[in-house]
Structure 1
Amino acid sequence: MSEDFESFFLENEEEGEGQDISQSEKEALLESLKVKSNQIFIPFDGLVKEVVHHVKQNYDFIISVNGNKGDGKSTLAYQFAKKADKHFNLARNFIYNGSDYSEFEGKIKNLPQYTPVVVDEAIESLYSQEWNTTLQRNLSKLFTTSRKQNKIVLLCMPFFTDLNAGFRNKLVDLWVQVLGRGVAVVFRRDENIFNADKWNFEFMQKLLSKRGKAGSRSRFLTTNILQNINYLRWNYPNFVGVTTFEQLSEEEEKNYLNFVNDTGKFEFDLYDGSVKTKELKQSLGRAVAWLYKSGADVKKLSEKLNLSVYSVRGLLKREGVDLRRKGKLEVWERAENYMKGGLE
């Protein structure tokens, strides 16, 4: 049910990449928001200072940063961490491949208080359809018991609903939805103790159904952005406001890409329409689908093929594979034995 609410923000992930918002468009949007929407604009520096102030009251703070590929999730998290930590650097503040629990534990427990930790590609470790893995159980326990560490954790992944519902409702404090490069909408968790749905997905689903938005895959930005933001402001209880963030400098972009190449998995460009890439996607997609149907799960495919979880899921979806089933890992032993036999 909540997927329709999220489609209010996101287009189908197979239809396109991140969308640029020009500086003039951004300025016009912000001016409209300030004039017509009674100051719902949140300065990015102010947002960072507010979160840092909160953790200094002996709390931790978890932010879910969501949006389409290329929209600027990692950029927003990078800028947030840089402003929140005067000792910021990628090796200190970033986790790219979130499948190593010891790295999580080390940063949460060993970095100084109030340090921001960015989990880029958080779907690697916190994907809702793999909620019962040992890694997720350990992470949930770590985040639940780490308040005294007073860390700020930013989780970057395409969809907010990719997080397990229990994790979202109990541990996530802010949901930041990136609309395009440089602009994001901010929501906070509902603290009403009588409300089990802390993000009011069912409530908004009913409203959007009446408004004719339910099931629509049209992108939030391609419709009237000011009208939609005002609609959320007056109807969605979790709405906080709109903020903007700067792009990375050329040097920062280069350093980030080097960091990803050194520590992360390859992310397949699902949107490259060239003939060679299309043929490669088809061949790789068929192979990945065969392995998945033979029993391998998404995480194991990601690990063995050195592809991001996002890329594996995209390839499987293109092959029409149902991702709701759980796989068995012993397929790799069968595949490896087959390969050895074929080479002998």
Structure 2
Amino acid sequence: NTMVEGEEHKGFVFNEVKMQVLTEAQKFQYPNDVSHCIDFAKHFTEHYDEFAKQLERVGLEGKRSGEKFIPEECLLSNIEYRKKLLAGLIDSDGYVNKKNHIDITTKSKRFAKDIENLVFSLGGHSNIRETKKKSQTMKEKRTYYDVNVSFENPKQIPLKVKFKKERLGNRMKHNPRHIAIECIKLKKKRVFGFEIDSSSKWYITDNWMVTHNSSFSIQVARRYLEKYFGTPHDSFDMEKYMAYTNADITEKIYSLPKYSPLIGDEAVRFAWSRDWNKAENKELAKLSTQIRTKKLIFFMNIPKLPWIDSAYREQLLDIWVWIHSSFAEGKKTGYAMIFEPDRNQAETDSWHLDTLKKHMRKKERIGRFTEIQRLFRIVKYNPCFVDAFPFPKMPEDLYESYLKVRDKRAFETAKEQIS
């Protein structure tokens, strides 16, 4: 409620609004008569109208700065609406520096998370940093949340405030995390659910992020322990058998019992060819020879075999399992294609990847709708191919346990490396 000329009115007030934003807001017409008032303090007051009724409908009426949020229907609207929504947030509350960095500061933790989800849904990347600072009206420090926003092409955000729009510049920055999702409202119809559908074993989680699937290696390790160690299949210890860093790998090589499985999840961190010159990775490669001494079964989860450094690929790998998920036949099915290396000493390409590439190019691209039998006919040209078989979906409780371990170890480690 606000006081205008001694009378109480139900309405809302915008503080420190840029003129470009006001001009844009006045383009929208509502059924009721709308009056505007811009005073010298740059306060913008609008009597209770259709827009205010909409705020009331979605539960935003009366919310203070520390309580505000983005309604779910807005977060799940079409992609153009979400772009405009984000632009409005940046125009009004955001800061754009000269290096294309975008930040939005808020007192509401829920609002910060909503902005983060909004950015992810548009193919951008975002993170939240909690900070203590003084407000413009209070002397004591309070908790605020700084939301960082980045896009491969920041120009796609339709900003209205001129200097913010100009600061975004034309610089493009490629990042595999930048993937956009479009939500389209449909009528009721019969639908089919599926878990994962990608030859790279990636899928979209509930926070819009691309995630690597380790389902196959976990299930194999679990069954192996059940058969040869007598470990009940429902008591698989993720923390014990999974590793995410060089330090993890080193510690588990020494501590795990003989013949144990060791899962190097997100193996790209320590086995990626681009990082091979790092001293710690070279030392780990030497240490990995002890895996054979202890007879450990080492799983390396990585999107593509060529990404693994040749030292691992040509000397230490005994089996390559290519995971392909398909629903070409109307249902989602996961397949494991097994390859073993050519140990001919004269062969420099132990996995005959060049042969595989040659036949892939001759036939067709491999996609999610490729018939599995057609794919089998192609991979059989590779002399290293052994067999292929379908495998089941990971049990829900096991998958939840995996997510907890992955989030705890993988992302904390990434943050440490960045800082």
Deviations along 1:174-200, whole A, 9 cap, x unmatched? 111111163221111112222111011
How far residue 256 of structure 1 moved from its aligned partner, in angstroms, is 1.5
Aligned residues: 210
TM-score by length of structure 1 reads 0.54
Change (3 A) 1:75 1:21: farther
TM-score by length of structure 2 reads 0.45
Instruction: Give 2:418's aligned amino acid.
Output: K
Map of 2:221 onto structure 1: 81
How far residue 84 of structure 1 moved from its aligned partner, in angstroms, is 1.3
Change (3 A) 1:68 1:109: same
| Residue pair 2:356, 2:379 contacting (<8 A) in 1 also | no
| Residue pair 1:73, 1:178 contacting (<8 A) in 2 also | no
Q: Please give the secondary structure, in 1, of the residue aligned with 2:223.
A: helix
Map of 1:164 onto structure 2: 309
Are residues 1:93 and 2:233 paired? Answer: no
How far residue 244 of structure 1 moved from its aligned partner, in angstroms, is 2.3
- Any residues of structure 2 matched to 1:35-54 within 5 Å, and which? none
CA distance in 1, matches of 2:177, 2:354: 23
How far residue 108 of structure 1 moved from its aligned partner, in angstroms, is 1.3
Instruction: Give 1:256's aligned amino acid.
Output: Y
| Residue pair 1:67, 1:177 contacting (<8 A) in 2 also | no
CA distance in 1, matches of 2:414, 2:407: 20
How far residue 259 of structure 1 moved from its aligned partner, in angstroms, is 1.5
Are residues 1:246 and 2:246 paired? Answer: no
Change (3 A) 1:255 1:224: closer
Q: Please give the secondary structure, in 1, of the residue aligned with 2:257.
A: coil
How far residue 262 of structure 1 moved from its aligned partner, in angstroms, is 2.1
Map of 2:347 onto structure 1: 195
CA distance in 2, matches of 1:236, 1:107: 34
Map of 1:315 onto structure 2: none
How far residue 72 of structure 1 moved from its aligned partner, in angstroms, is 7.1
How far residue 107 of structure 1 moved from its aligned partner, in angstroms, is 1.0
How far residue 114 of structure 1 moved from its aligned partner, in angstroms, is 0.8
CA distance in 2, matches of 1:127, 1:149: 24
Instruction: Give 2:239's aligned amino acid.
Output: A
Map of 2:257 onto structure 1: 112
Higher alpha-carbon Rg:
2
CA distance in 2, matches of 1:169, 1:16: 37
CA distance in 2, matches of 1:116, 1:193: 28
How far residue 202 of structure 1 moved from its aligned partner, in angstroms, is 2.1
CA distance in 2, matches of 1:241, 1:113: 28
Change (3 A) 1:265 1:15: closer
Deviations along 1:37-86, whole A, 9 cap, x unmatched? xxxxxxxxxxxxxxxxxxxxxxxxxxxxx833139741111101101114
CA distance in 2, matches of 1:264, 1:228: 33
Are residues 1:265 and 2:403 paired? Answer: no
Q: Please give the secondary structure, in 1, of the residue aligned with 2:387.
A: strand
CA distance in 1, matches of 2:335, 2:261: 21
Are residues 1:143 and 2:300 paired? Answer: no
Map of 1:173 onto structure 2: 318
CA RMSD of aligned residues (A): 3.2
User: Which protein has greater RCO, CA pairs closer than 8 Å, 6+ apart?
Assistant: 1
Please list every run of 5 or more consecutive structure 2 residues that lacks an aligned counterpart in the other structure. 1-175, 182-191, 204-210, 326-332
Q: Please give the secondary structure, in 2, of the residue aligned with 1:77.
A: helix
- Any residues of structure 2 matched to 1:14-29 within 5 Å, and which? none
Map of 1:69 onto structure 2: 202
Are residues 1:229 and 2:376 paired? Answer: yes
| Residue pair 1:182, 1:246 contacting (<8 A) in 2 also | yes
CA distance in 1, matches of 2:335, 2:375: 14
Q: Please give the secondary structure, in 2, of the residue aligned with 1:261.
A: helix
Please list every run of 5 or more consecutive structure 1 residues that lacks an aligned counterpart in the other structure. 1-11, 24-65, 267-298, 306-344
Deviations along 1:260-298, whole A, 9 cap, x unmatched? 2222207xxxxxxxxxxxxxxxxxxxxxxxxxxxxxxxx
CA distance in 2, matches of 1:187, 1:16: 35
How far residue 249 of structure 1 moved from its aligned partner, in angstroms, is 2.0
Q: Indicate the percent of aligned positions where both proteins have the same amino acid.
A: 22
| Residue pair 2:212, 2:266 contacting (<8 A) in 1 also | no
Q: Please give the secondary structure, in 2, of the residue aligned with 1:248.
A: coil
Change (3 A) 1:212 1:301: farther
Are residues 1:102 and 2:241 paired? Answer: no
| Residue pair 2:259, 2:297 contacting (<8 A) in 1 also | yes
Instruction: Give 1:82's aligned amino acid.
Output: R
For 1:205, which of 354, 357, 364 is the aligned residue? Answer: 357
